[in-house]
Amino acid sequence: MPATPSPTPLDTLAPTPLDTLAAGTVVPAHPLALDADRRLDERRQRALTRYYLAAGAGGVAVGVHTTQFAIREPSVGLLRPVLELASEVVDEEAARLRPPEEAAAPFVRIAGACGYTRQAVAEAELARELGYDAVLLSPLVPGADEAGLLERTRAVGEVLPVIGFYLQEAVGGRRLSPAYWSALAEIESVVAIKTAPFDRYRTADVIAAVAASGRAGEVALYTGNDDAIVQDLLTPYRTAEGERWFAGGLLGHWAVWTRAAVRLFHEVRRARAGDHALLTELLARGPQVTESNAAVFDVRYDFRGCIAGVHEVLRRQGLLAGTWCLDVDEGLSPGQAEEIARVVKTYPWLTDDAFVAEHLDDWLR
């Protein structure tokens, strides 16, 4: 009778994409590549995913605000194609493009899910079919109360692990109570929370709720506060239950200049580990990141050009052919292109133009 094999020690198990998410990483929110007729440009859509992989990002979020929610409209019909393209590129390219020192950290695929429970569950099922690892669950559910949002989370969590989302009011979000975040953190399928209220008080609500939940070690905190990226990543939040840090960022801002964002993220980790000179330098750079975000996200005009601003940076680099959005009325605001050009010139360390230029032909192949 053959001997019963010994169980594999837990510390020798191969890491999973959710391990990457838990450990903390750079997750760009994936844009939508369109041609001049506002149709999907598959070649450039693939090129964008290749760019994020090559830049050293640890994951990508697809079907989220930066991808444009209108991809779900029946007249557009791009949710499946866009999710499928990104997943295919990850399958094809991840092993080839990942830097050797990060080879043990699997790339995490995150799909956005929207709408009431039936729609959100159906979108999660599609994401699971296409190989995604987790769902970023949009809080944009008109008329739903907090109890309804929690029930929707539980339903989606039966399909895929869930990333909760605190969204700023300027782009449709709403205030959610500390009790809501406490209840959300206790749901076992919730593996992370993207905190993006652009508000220090509300950010603190989420951190305190997670710390007190009893699942603090199971729920990763991700900054989505594009106005305070460096501040969030460098700040130890000391609560009654212990110290909490943001593990990483899931950001529309990191859809551009991603190689520089990855470099910044690794510098943050060195500073957190005790490099005090680097800590001081990063604190000085933080406002520069915020200033660049103001240009890209069109803060001057209440974020109306935020998606087009992301497209403009990518257009300048050659990754996109133009700044077209699905909504013909959505585009750059007056002076926005000039503001982007100004921050590029003023803060060249924020950009990765040379990196993109070196690899662009390969990504567009």
Q: Token match 């399958």: residue?
A: 91
φ, ψ for residue 261, nearest 5 deg: -65, -40
* Mode of pairing for the β-strands spanning 237-239 and 242-244: antiparallel
**Count of alpha carbons within 13 angstroms of residue 101, beta-carbon side:** 3
Q: Which pLDDT tens digit goes with each residue over 100-142? A: 554 557 999 999 999 999 999 999 999 999 999 999 999 999 9
Tokens of 139: 């809080």
For the chain, how big is the Rg over CA atoms in Å?
Answer: 20
pLDDT greater than 50 at residue 4: no
Q: Which pLDDT tens digit goes with each residue over 276-297? A: 999 999 999 999 999 999 999 9
* Mode of pairing for the β-strands spanning 190-196 and 242-244: unpaired
Per-residue pLDDT, averaged over 44-73, amounts to 97
* Window from 9-18, 19-28, 70-79, 224-233 with minimum mean pLDDT: 9-18
Q: Token match 């007190």: residue?
A: 212
pLDDT of 173 reads: 87
**Count of alpha carbons within 13 angstroms of residue 48, beta-carbon side:** 32
Please give the Cα distance from 199 to 8 (Å, whole number): 45
pLDDT greater than 90 at residue 96: no
pLDDT of 98 reads: 57
pLDDT of 13 reads: 66
φ, ψ for residue 11, nearest 5 deg: -80, 0
pLDDT of 1 reads: 41
Cβ–Cβ under 8 Å, residues 109 and 86: yes
Cβ–Cβ under 8 Å, residues 312 and 340: yes
Query: pTM of the prediction?
Result: 0.93
Nearest to 162 by CA among 206, 205, 111, 209: 111
**Count of alpha carbons within 13 angstroms of residue 51, beta-carbon side:** 33
pLDDT of 296 reads: 98
Maximum CA pair distance of the chain? 78
